[in-house]
Structure 1
């Protein structure tokens, strides 16, 4: 299993202010679903920050997202390790397959993979 990117998730209702602030550092908005917006560096597209007011389908908002090449394998590894699964593996309408797991420090991690057509 390979990690493709790691994205910090900032919980905030001030998406416009974050867009302006991170824009000063060269970030551009690359995704906006209303409840989550992601900003990326044009020169390093995997350098990203997401700002979210809440999570659309989960009871908690994750602290970070980790995209992997095989989310099903990651889920099995985490389950077998005894880690706390906060949100079971599921497919989302916006094209990702994901689950949430709690890290040893108590942070919620969104582990995801993009579904391919």
Structure 2
């Protein structure tokens, strides 16, 4: 199993203002679903930050997102470890398969693969 990228998710009530601010740092909009705006570095596209007002299908805003090459394999490993699954493994309409788990410090991690 391999990690492809890690993205901090910042809870935001003003994502458009945040988009302008992070633009000053060299980020540009890579994805905008309304409730989440992902900004990527123009030089290193896997360097990203997401601004979230909420989550369309999950009960909480995750603290970070970790893209992996095989989300099903990671899900089984996390579940077998006894870690709390906050949001079940499922396919989302925007093209990812994902689940949320709580880390030992209580942070919620969105683990995903693109379909």
Given the two structures, how large is their TM-score scaled by the length of structure 1?
Answer: 0.97
State whether structure 2 residue 52 is matched by structure 1 residue 52: yes
- Secondary structure at the aligned position of 1:44 is classed as coil
Inter-partner Cα distance in structure 1 for 2:49 and 2:92: 20
1:20-59 correspondence to structure 2 within 5 Å: 20-59=20-59
Inter-partner Cα distance in structure 2 for 1:80 and 1:47: 30
- Secondary structure at the aligned position of 1:75 is classed as helix
Q: Quote the residue 1:85 is aligned against.
A: 85
TM-superposed CA distance for 1:26, in Å, is 0.6
Runs of 4+ in structure 1 off by over 2 angstroms are: none
Which sections of structure 1, spanning at least 5 residues, go unmatched?
Answer: none
- Secondary structure at the aligned position of 2:13 is classed as coil
